[in-house]
Chain A
């Protein structure tokens, strides 16, 4: 287990299977509408991935990932909204050339902080940096003072609530509760037609795999092992001479940036951004995705997100008035029966059988051990 490779063999198989599933199976079997829905689900998978690093490995439970999802999403939406608010598109307004919600709120010129979002380069930088720096500030303020655990979770919730109130209250600058709707083009390229949705889907899946690779790298590096050690016995790591706070800040920032990328993808794929993704409820939902997938498993996070969202869509289509009960029941069942989520089911029931099958065919496979369970499983 001292190898520093990105992944061992079973993980490689898992990643390849996921790639085949997302790149080949889904696009071939689903129509564009459903594929676009999968693209929407996958935007949450970014958040769930970040939570695996931050919560699963680092043991830092953040109930405010919606904040970063929202910041990333709003940065992207601001760029798209500016492009959609050209003078000719908005000539019906009292002040043409500014976003429609500003006009409704009697704002007559574009606010200063909106102006840089005319540039796509600035926007992309902002998607990463704004949430990253924000997480750095929160993280530094909290972890340097050794605030952790439940208290940290509560504070992240408070931040989520504050940001929602801020966005809703400043509707002249943010679109308020309506959010930013009617996003149309990206550098003149229409993001609404079907073929654009397909292109965006593949772009998103590509980004997702880059993020998965980075998460794999973190997990198998020394850094990842320090994170796990910290989760299990923080004091010991501290007494060994490591700066626990810095590692925690790092994990939190990674999770924030992942969430922000998800948010930006959301704005692109759905053509929409609203404060309903920023608040406490969506933030907790994002934790649920991770929990269902298994908070220790990188791939589990992706499957968990897909499963929960798929269940949400299909249950609500079939039982429009009762679906929330069904969904709630599903969560309770999963948490009670399988505390390690989908990844737990896989590790406990499916993987051993596959191993047995392989070992039957090819006696005594040496050179690799199943470290996915070993270095991920909690100490108890």
Chain B
């Protein structure tokens, strides 16, 4: 302290007053501090998880290598960002989160092996992970057998519900129905052509979409085609599209195939500013590979776009870019992955325990007001209430928000009348 300052404090009364004032914030901090010192580890961790007085360990399980790495890297980055932010804000029940990262290597059995390693050897309190349905299906029996907690970020086909999984992405009805309603109303669409990759998610999504088009919208599906994962020849389906002239092309082509599909569509002279195309599989991440000029004008239907204009997102996007570089883009799944650690933290604090059984029971009703997509809440079925949005792809690879549902859409993994 400098001399001038000490002189200013010479009056005893003044000093006392000042000290009293200085103590005020300290007093208000007291209950918080004692809360941060938190309950004893033995009380909040009765099942032998990796929780110490200062640390709690979670697992991150995605493909850092292999064909899925391009998609899953965003999820890894989002989860690390969330963990860092939670730690900066004091951690969970006074414990800093430490993570163990494992590589699923785009190989489903490896996912199962690593999940088992995380649960059995490392005793992680939760796993943030998986991306494809196949990897989730491989991990699910392991998580259920060893009673772990999995936060799964991808939009997926539904038909699943587990005590041990929180699905932070949308299930199929949540994602699809609002988008179809919107395009039917807005474009007067009556005929639809479905193109998808050949596996469970596109098939189930298209099944739901077909039922909705035929039974609710009273429209017609004029074609439904599937191609193997990684397929790059779409000329025959593009010819069929040209012949049938559908009002809407509805696509759930995934991964690298997208690049070929949209380039060939453009080369075949289908202008997406005139021909309506609704995709449920192209996020900002995919456009990075497809190129904005090849897909501009297409509509995408999901719950999050990087361009969303709300306070949470305006804080989230710069924080993400600061940590992972200016050039990174943030897609729907990346945002959903970011929700995982936060929802887990909020649930642990609600339950007052790291025990998986207590977290599973406390999950329904947990709400996260800081979600970049706005606001989410966990449903009794362990999926999230969330809004569905339609965006239009722009040349710069971003989406322009066109429509969003007024209310949160209820997750319904076992939809009646759509099976």
Q: Which residues of A contact B (CB under 8 A)?
A: 31, 33, 36-37, 40, 92, 94, 101, 104-106, 165, 168-169, 171, 176-179, 181-182, 192, 270-272, 274, 276-277, 313, 316-317, 320-321, 323-324
Listed in ascending order, the chain B residues whose CB lies under 8 Å from chain A are 64-65, 101-103, 105, 107-110, 112-113, 116-117, 120-121, 133-134, 137-138, 140-141, 145, 157, 159, 198-200, 203-204, 207, 228-229, 414, 419
Contact partners of A168 in chain B: CB under 8 A: 198-199, 228-229
Q: Mostly helix, strand, loop or mixed at chain A's interface?
A: helix
| Closest CB in chain A relative to B377 CB, distance in Å | 24
- A-B contacts, 25 of them at CB < 8 A, read A33-B120, A33-B121, A37-B113, A94-B419, A104-B159, A165-B228, A168-B199, A171-B199, A171-B200, A176-B198, A177-B198, A178-B137, A179-B108, A179-B134, A179-B137, A192-B141, A270-B109, A270-B112, A276-B107, A316-B105, A320-B102, A321-B64, A323-B103, A324-B65, A324-B105
5 new A-B pairs (CB below 8 Å) besides A177-B200, A274-B138? A178-B137, A182-B137, A270-B109, A272-B112, A274-B108
Residues of A within 8 A of B65 (CB): 321, 323-324
Contact call A182/B140, Cβ cutoff below 8 A: yes
In Å, the complex CA distance between A179 and B110 comes to: 13
Q: How far is the CA of A274 from the CA of B132 in the complex (A)?
A: 14
Instruction: Say how far A94's CB is from chain B's closest CB, in angstroms.
Output: 5
| Interchain CA distance A168-B102 in the complex, whole Å | 27
Within 8 Å by CB of B113, from A40, A176, A179, A276, lies A40
On whether the beta carbons of A177 and B199 are closer than 8 Å, the reply is yes
Residues of B within 8 A of A277 (CB): 109
Q: Give complex CA distance A179, B135 in Å.
A: 10
A178, B103: Cβ atoms closer than 8 Å: no
A39 smallest CB distance to B (angstroms): 11
Q: Are A181 and B419 in contact (CB under 8 A)?
A: no
Known: A316-B105, A321-B103. A177 touches B117 (CB 8 A): no
Question: Please, how many angstroms separate the alpha-carbon atoms of A171 and B112 in the complex?
Answer: 21
B134 surroundings in chain A (CB, below 8 A): 177-179, 274
- A79 to B108 CA separation, bound complex (whole angstroms): 21
Task: Please name all residues of chain A whose beta carbon is closer than 8 Å to the beta carbon of B110 when the two chains form the complex.
Answer: 316
Chain B residues with CB below 8 A from A177, complex form: 134, 198-200, 229
Q: Measured between alpha carbons, how far is A12 from B28 in the docked complex, in Å?
A: 78
Q: Report yes or no: A178 in contact with B199, Cβ–Cβ below 8 A.
A: yes
Q: Smallest CB–CB gap between B152 and chain A, Å? A: 15
Residues of A within 8 A of B133 (CB): 178
A171 neighbours in B (Cβ, 8 Å):
198-200, 203
B107, B117, B199, B207: which contacts A317 (Cβ < 8 A)? B117
